[in-house]
Each structure stands twice: as structure tokens, then as C-alpha cells.
């Protein structure tokens, strides 16, 4: 063999990594073996001198509730009564949760087609039902969610067409 032969650097690095990995695995197995070892419980030598109270399990027993709690509803309330006049519309308190305008809400505002409104009046009616101004304008837009039931005349009057189907 050639005495001047040098060991390439890559072989040295690989040898160090292999030896280091083996050392790591041995140390890891020793540490994990110590961590899993269970210590024996120490028995008192003289039972008369030790406080020999045993821990008692206190289980909580609750009686069944006779009335189940009402689940929270995340859906808007549908108004079922026809509102006779604008002045009779009750003011609903503002809620933190957003309510969605339904087809029945729109039909109620327009009295199922027997009433025609301007855009601003219809928005005011929807606001009285508890909906926001932006939601009301979106619901009353010509290309909005309820456009199949709304008829827009050139003079700005909006009519609800209850007989249409979407």
C-alpha cells in the first residue's frame, strides 16, 4: 500500500457521523430505560406512628335534568304573520349575529304582492324587521337573491310577484 495515501474528507465525515449516531442511540436507550423505571412504593415501618388515613373517592352524583336545555338556533326567525300596516311593524332589537333575509321576510314586507314600494321604503321596512341596510339593498337589487320574485318598473316602484317560482 501507498504510505502517502490520504483518506478522503467525505470518508472521515461519514465515519464521525456513524460513530456519533451509535453513541447517541446508546445514550438515548439508557436515558429512556431510566425514565420508564417505576419506583417502588415505600411502606411505613410502624403503622402506629404514621397517619394512616386512606384517600376516599368522592364521586359526584347529579340528578338528571327534567327539561333538556334548548339548543341554540343559528337560523333566522321566519315571520309568519302578515303585517297590516307600516306603523304596526315592531322594532326588533339589534343582534350581534347576522340575520339573513328570507323569501318569507320579503313577501311579508310586500304583503305577498298586494303592496308596491319604492326602493328606499322597502329598505326601511326591512330595517324595521331587524335587518341591516346593506343586506336590505342587496336583497332588493335587480340581480340579487330575490330578483325572480321582484318586478322593477321604470318609475322606481318595486312589486313582489308571489306566484313566481324560482
- pLDDT-derived band at 41 (thresholds 50, 70, 90) equals low
Q: What are phi and psi of 29, to 5 degrees?
A: -65, -35
Q: How buried is 81 (Cβ within 10 angstroms: 0-12 exposed, 13-18 middle, 19+ buried)?
A: exposed
Q: What is the DSSP string of 52-105?
A: -PPP-------PPPSSPPPPPP-SPPPP-SPP--GGGPPPPPP-SSPPPP-HHH
The 10 Å Cβ neighbour count of residue 25 is 10
pLDDT tens-place string over residues 51-108: 555 555 566 555 655 666 666 666 666 655 555 555 545 565 555 566 789 999 999 9
* Nearest-angstrom CA–CA distance, 117 and 98: 25
* Nearest-angstrom CA–CA distance, 95 and 9: 73
Whether the predicted pLDDT of 34 surpasses 80: no
Lowest mean pLDDT among 29-38, 74-83, 128-137, 155-164: 74-83
Helix (H, G, I), strand (E, B) or coil at 156: coil
Handedness of CA 16, 17, 18, 24 (dihedral sign): positive
Q: What is the pLDDT of residue 6?
A: 78
Q: Per-domain residue ranges for the chain?
A: 7-35, 86-160
Helix (H, G, I), strand (E, B) or coil at 146: coil
Task: Please give the average per-residue pLDDT across 9-16, as a whole number.
Answer: 92
- For residue 153, give the C-alpha cell: 318598473
- pLDDT-derived band at 32 (thresholds 50, 70, 90) equals confident
Q: Are 112 and 80 in contact (CB under 8 A)?
A: no
Q: Average model confidence (pLDDT) for the chain?
A: 76
Q: What is the pLDDT of residue 38?
A: 63
- pLDDT-derived band at 48 (thresholds 50, 70, 90) equals low
- Distant-in-sequence, close-in-space partners of 69: CB < 8 Å, separation ≥ 6: none
Q: Are 126 and 86 in contact (CB under 8 A)?
A: no
- pLDDT-derived band at 113 (thresholds 50, 70, 90) equals confident
Amino acid at each position: 500500500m501507498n504510505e502517502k495515501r490520504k483518506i478522503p474528507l467525505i470518508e472521515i465525515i461519514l465515519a464521525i457521523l456513524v460513530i456519533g449516531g451509535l453513541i447517541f442511540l446508546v445514550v438515548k436507550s439508557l436515558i429512556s430505560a431510566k425514565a420508564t423505571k417505576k419506583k417502588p412504593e415505600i411502606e411505613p415501618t410502624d403503622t402506629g406512628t404514621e397517619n394512616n388515613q386512606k384517600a376516599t373517592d368522592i364521586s359526584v352524583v347529579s340528578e338528571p335534568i327534567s327539561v333538556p336545555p334548548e339548543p341554540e338556533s343559528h337560523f333566522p326567525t321566519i315571520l309568519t304573520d302578515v303585517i297590516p300596516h307600516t306603523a304596526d311593524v315592531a322594532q326588533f332589537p339589534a343582534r350581534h349575529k347576522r340575520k339573513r333575509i328570507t323569501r318569507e321576510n320579503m313577501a311579508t314586507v310586500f304583503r305577498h304582492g298586494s303592496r308596491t314600494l319604492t326602493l328606499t321604503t322597502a329598505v326601511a321596512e326591512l330595517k324595521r324587521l331587524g335587518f341591516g341596510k346593506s343586506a336590505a339593498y342587496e336583497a332588493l337589487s335587480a340581480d340579487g337573491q330575490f330578483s325572480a320574485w321582484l318586478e322593477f318598473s321604470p318609475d322606481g316602484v318595486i312589486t313582489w310577484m308571489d306566484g313566481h317560482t324560482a
